[in-house]
Amino acid sequence: MYFLDVILPIPLKQSFTYSVNNDEAAFLKPGMRVAVPFGKAKVYTGIVFQVHAQQPMGYETKSIDHILDEEPVITPLQLKHWEWMAAYYMCSLGEVIKAALPSAFLLESETIIKLTARNNMEEATLSDDEFVLFEALQHQSSLHINDARSILDRKNIVSVIQKLLDKNIIEIEETVYEQYTPKLKRYIKLAPQFTSEESLRELLDTLTRAPKQRDVLMHLFMLNSQTRKPISSASLQKKSKVTASVIKSLTDKGILEEYFIQHDRVEFSGETSIEVKSLNQAQATALSEIEASFQTNDVVLLHGVTSSGKTEIYVRLIEKMIASGKQVLYMLPEIALTTQLINRLQKYFGEKISVYHSRFSVNERVEVWKNVLNNKAKAQVVIGARSSLFLPFRNLGFIIIDEEHEPSFKQYSPAPRYNARDSAIVLANLHKAKLLMGSATPSLESYHNAKSGKFGLVTLMKRFGNVMMPDIELVDIKEKTRKKQMTGHFSDRLLEEMREVLKNGEQVILFQNRRGFSPVVECTTCGISPQCPNCDVSLTYHQHKNQLRCHYCGYHMAMMQSCIACGSETLDTKGFGTEQIETELKTLFPDYKVARMDQDTTKGKHSYAKLIEALENEEINILVGTQMLAKGLDFRNISLVGVMNADNLLNFPDFRAHERSFQLLQQVSGRAGRTQKRGKVLIQTYNPYHQILKQVSVNDYNAMYKEQLEERYNYKYPPFFRTIKIVFKDKNLARVQNASIWFGQALEIQFKENILGPEPPPIGRIKNKFIMNLLVKIPKSQSLEKTKKYIENVQRSFNSVKEFSSVRINIDVDNY
């Protein structure tokens, strides 16, 4: 009798032990998946951790339901990396696994399945069990796995579903993703009896009266001798200039045969089409400095201003790496994963590129996963958002983290609350791979690491083609308001510049950090503004739908006619969002095409790409948007960037707010003037004397770095102290307050003044839960490991306090 430790994708920290027989024990390897029963009526897919002969004490082990893999889908190295993540970010290995694996790998009781749109299914290829489920799904549009269990025998349910998934007959219901339609492409070949030259000639002789059919055969024969690749029906039709019916009559006669090949859903049509650009002097120097730095450093930071041509440098490094047969991971913030960049890289690397991110369907992600696992050429370079870190690399040689300063590399919720940039350093280490970070505005942490010698540092301060950095002007809107030089939210300076630019046929980008029409509706009689019933925030007015919406929980209601408190019809709007700017623009510039880019306008899978394309094709004259605009876009014809209001960035209550504002404003400004003509940036603000704005306007990263670093030092923040945030949530305000005070006091015994709070966050209630935060600051001299142990011990005692049993705790290490 053997035992199997399985990791389940749940928040519990221990593994679970099942019994297996001798054969199973011999077959199972760590990283394979097994379906196991759990609790009274649940089934989970778990990951094999280890097989042993140690009977667990105190309970009887159940046997597993089924083994789902012939080979591990997870590598030993991945498991090691994930164990590190679980320990570092204080969560369970199961939670990491749940985040890491595409959901199609982790079928469980809660999973819902349905038929795919495919209809040319051959029933004969199904086993009895598969057929039963298939039939059940004909009568019912979707099935819970638990329902499926009662239809079939419990033991094999997960494996039957897995087979149907692999055969593309069913799919997992996912509301977030676009529907997946299998792409089957039609191919044509000669029937086997005609493949010899002799038989073909005979055949052609019999077809003298059907010249078109003869033509098709001749072309097919020619294509066959030119290329060994499959010949698609479409290309044959085109080559021989016939209609589909000619080909059909040949197949009807049995001379031609049709067959289907499933095309990878994420497929690029790509031959590599352009030669790699030659680097200019500054780029070439930077490249050789990076390579030299890699001789002694595992991590190098490339600090290169916007449009300095960092991507071309990455391309060179990737080229060398793949020539040596290694895999490359190119990580970007989700939002920078534009078709623009992907197209650019495809031109260099063609089909060696795979893209991996959450906007893709599960099936697409499974495909990339398998390609990476099997070290396939077509996944030699993976471009992806933070979750691409979890792919099963075999032979990873190089990781690039572009826009390394981006906060979206950090996952806030759910656990693991990991930072993909930092976790990638550990991953590179495990693979003995090199890692390059790039940014025009590095995070304070990374720059500090580079300055203190922990990372290599290479700088590139010139824009490509000697394009000048944009000319940045601050516009004092307090002054402008006083002098009545504002039209709506536009200063006369901004309007003047816009007119000039538009007249020349150039484009304008306007940045506004908020979506919606106008954040707050306020009654001018009694001063009350409508609040979300579930969260402590004011509702945001969306003109387009005439609604008030909560951006935290999605609550919405129709805009009211009169004040709910006093009944007066004196509702007014305060503050403003992208939608309102768009509306103002339409009256200010009726002759120009205005578009908006924010979360509301980019919901569909392709809407973001469409907007970018329209901008590229100059079908849009003025684009107004949120920070979505700031990332990695490269347009030729934008000569003016306007920031509508810089103050709400600067006033954000967070120790990173100033650093963030600098980064965001520099990145947005970087969209201006990427060609010979110098770009112009206008930043409207009530506070033009703010240090950060001055530093932005003269493009002085170093001054910003120095000043911010000093503040971080004085106030004990990263990079000098580490932080762990502990978040408490409960429906009852008093309870969550007491719980956080209890916890805080327990921590203070050990960590004294390095415990901050508890205090409520700026928004003290979200989705009807009250929130309290505790912050643990950890000096560099204090052991991080021991600190976490201590917190875990406190948490254990906390969990045994009955009064607090409903209080949820989240722990966020290196919180953002």
The residues that touch ligand ADP, with contacts defined as CB under 6 A, are: 277-280, 283, 304, 306-312, 464, 634
Closest CA to 185 of 240, 265, 252: 265
Comparing CB distances to Zn ion, the nearer of 136 and 526 is 526
535 binds Zn ion (CB under 5 A): yes
Q: Binds 526, which of ligand ADP, Zn ion, none (CB < 5 to 8 A, cut-off by type)?
A: Zn ion
Comparing CB distances to ligand ADP, the nearer of 17 and 307 is 307
Closest CA to 540 of 577, 583, 595, 572: 577
Comparing CB distances to ligand ADP, the nearer of 469 and 791 is 469
Q: In angstroms, what is the minimal distance from the CB of 764 to Zn ion?
A: 12
- CA distance linking residue 551 with residue 133, whole number of Å: 41
810 three-state secondary structure: strand
Kindly tell me the burial class for residue 614, based on how many C-beta atoms sit within 10 Å of its own C-beta (0-12, 13-18, 19 or more).
middle
Q: In angstroms, what is the minimal distance from the CB of 633 to ligand ADP?
A: 9
Q: Binds 464, which of ligand ADP, Zn ion, none (CB < 5 to 8 A, cut-off by type)?
A: ligand ADP
Comparing CB distances to ligand ADP, the nearer of 293 and 306 is 306
Residue whose entry in the numeric block shows the structure tokens 């390059």 = 436
Binding residue for Zn ion, selected from 563, 640, 681, 746, defined by CB under 5 A: 563
CB of 313 closer than 8 Å to CB of 279: yes
163-171, 227-235, 331-339, 556-564 -> range binding Zn ion (CB under 5 A)? 556-564
Q: Binds 44, which of ligand ADP, Zn ion, none (CB < 5 to 8 A, cut-off by type)?
A: none
Q: Binds 667, which of ligand ADP, Zn ion, none (CB < 5 to 8 A, cut-off by type)?
A: none
Comparing CB distances to Zn ion, the nearer of 199 and 534 is 534
Residue whose entry in the numeric block shows the structure tokens 């607090």 = 804
525 binds Zn ion (CB under 5 A): yes
Binding residue for Zn ion, selected from 244, 560, 565, 801, defined by CB under 5 A: 565
560 binds Zn ion (CB under 5 A): no
301 binds Zn ion (CB under 5 A): no
Q: Binds 439, which of Zn ion, ligand ADP, none (CB < 5 to 8 A, cut-off by type)?
A: none
Q: Got the DSSP string for 85-149?
A: HHHHTTS-HHHHHHHHS-GGG---TT-EEEE-S-----GGGS-HHHHHHHHHHHHSSEEEHHHHH
Comparing CB distances to ligand ADP, the nearer of 83 and 291 is 291
78 three-state secondary structure: helix
Binding residue for Zn ion, selected from 368, 550, 594, 595, defined by CB under 5 A: 550
470 three-state secondary structure: coil
Residue type, 300: V
- CA distance linking residue 583 with residue 202, whole number of Å: 73
Q: Is the dihedral of CA 697, 703, 709, 712 positive or negative?
A: negative
564 binds Zn ion (CB under 5 A): no
Q: Binds 552, which of ligand ADP, Zn ion, none (CB < 5 to 8 A, cut-off by type)?
A: Zn ion
Q: Binds 535, which of Zn ion, ligand ADP, none (CB < 5 to 8 A, cut-off by type)?
A: Zn ion
Q: In angstroms, what is the minimal distance from the CB of 679 to ligand ADP?
A: 13
175-183, 339-347, 565-573, 706-714 -> range binding Zn ion (CB under 5 A)? 565-573
Residue length of the chain: 816
552 binds Zn ion (CB under 5 A): yes
Residue whose entry in the numeric block shows the structure tokens 């009169």 = 562
- CA distance linking residue 348 with residue 336, whole number of Å: 19
Q: In angstroms, what is the minimal distance from the CB of 533 to Zn ion?
A: 7
- CA distance linking residue 690 with residue 811, whole number of Å: 34
- CB-based contacts of 58, cutoff 8 Å, min separation 6: none
- CA distance linking residue 590 with residue 584, whole number of Å: 10
Q: Binds 277, which of Zn ion, ligand ADP, none (CB < 5 to 8 A, cut-off by type)?
A: ligand ADP
- CA distance linking residue 752 with residue 750, whole number of Å: 6
CB of 754 closer than 8 Å to CB of 687: no
Q: Binds 663, which of Zn ion, ligand ADP, none (CB < 5 to 8 A, cut-off by type)?
A: none
Comparing CB distances to ligand ADP, the nearer of 108 and 312 is 312
Omega before 392 within 30 of 0, i.e. cis: no
**Backbone phi and psi for residue 329, each to the nearest 5 degrees, phi listed first:** -115, 125
Comparing CB distances to ligand ADP, the nearer of 279 and 622 is 279
Comparing CB distances to ligand ADP, the nearer of 333 and 718 is 333
47-55, 161-169, 521-529, 689-697 -> range binding Zn ion (CB under 5 A)? 521-529
Comparing CB distances to ligand ADP, the nearer of 220 and 345 is 345
Contacts 24+ apart (CB under 8 A), 172-176: 172/103, 172/104, 172/107, 172/111, 172/112, 172/113, 172/362, 173/112, 173/113, 173/114, 173/142, 174/103, 174/361, 174/362, 176/358
3-state secondary structure 185-204: EEEEEECHHHCCHHHHHHHH
- CB-based contacts of 269, cutoff 8 Å, min separation 6: none
Question: Where is the binding site, in residues?
Answer: 523, 526, 532, 535, 550, 553, 563, 566
- CB-based contacts of 198, cutoff 8 Å, min separation 6: none
Comparing CB distances to Zn ion, the nearer of 532 and 709 is 532
Comparing CB distances to ligand ADP, the nearer of 104 and 300 is 300
- CA distance linking residue 726 with residue 810, whole number of Å: 6
Q: In angstroms, what is the minimal distance from the CB of 464 to ligand ADP?
A: 4
Q: Binds 283, which of Zn ion, ligand ADP, none (CB < 5 to 8 A, cut-off by type)?
A: ligand ADP
Binding residue for Zn ion, selected from 495, 553, 733, 756, defined by CB under 5 A: 553
523 binds Zn ion (CB under 5 A): yes
Q: Binds 525, which of Zn ion, ligand ADP, none (CB < 5 to 8 A, cut-off by type)?
A: Zn ion
Number of amino acids touching Zn ion (CB under 5 A): 13
459 binds Zn ion (CB under 5 A): no
Q: What is the CB-side half-sphere exposure of residue 316 using CA atoms within 13 A?
A: 16
CB of 349 closer than 8 Å to CB of 383: no
Question: Where is the binding site for Zn(2+), in residues?
Answer: 523, 526, 532, 535, 550, 553, 563, 566
Comparing CB distances to Zn ion, the nearer of 325 and 527 is 527
What is the CA 297 to chain-centroid distance, rounded? 28
Kindly tell me the burial class for residue 302, based on how many C-beta atoms sit within 10 Å of its own C-beta (0-12, 13-18, 19 or more).
buried
Comparing CB distances to ligand ADP, the nearer of 322 and 332 is 332
Q: In angstroms, what is the minimal distance from the CB of 504 to ligand ADP?
A: 21
Gyration radius from the chain CA atoms: 30
532 binds Zn ion (CB under 5 A): yes
Q: Binds 280, which of Zn ion, ligand ADP, none (CB < 5 to 8 A, cut-off by type)?
A: ligand ADP
Q: In angstroms, what is the minimal distance from the CB of 416 to Zn ion?
A: 26
Q: Binds 720, which of ligand ADP, Zn ion, none (CB < 5 to 8 A, cut-off by type)?
A: none
CB of 365 closer than 8 Å to CB of 102: yes
Kindly tell me the burial class for residue 541, based on how many C-beta atoms sit within 10 Å of its own C-beta (0-12, 13-18, 19 or more).
buried
User: Residues in the site for Zn ion, rule: CB under 5 A?
Assistant: 523, 525-526, 532, 534-535, 550, 552-553, 555, 563, 565-566
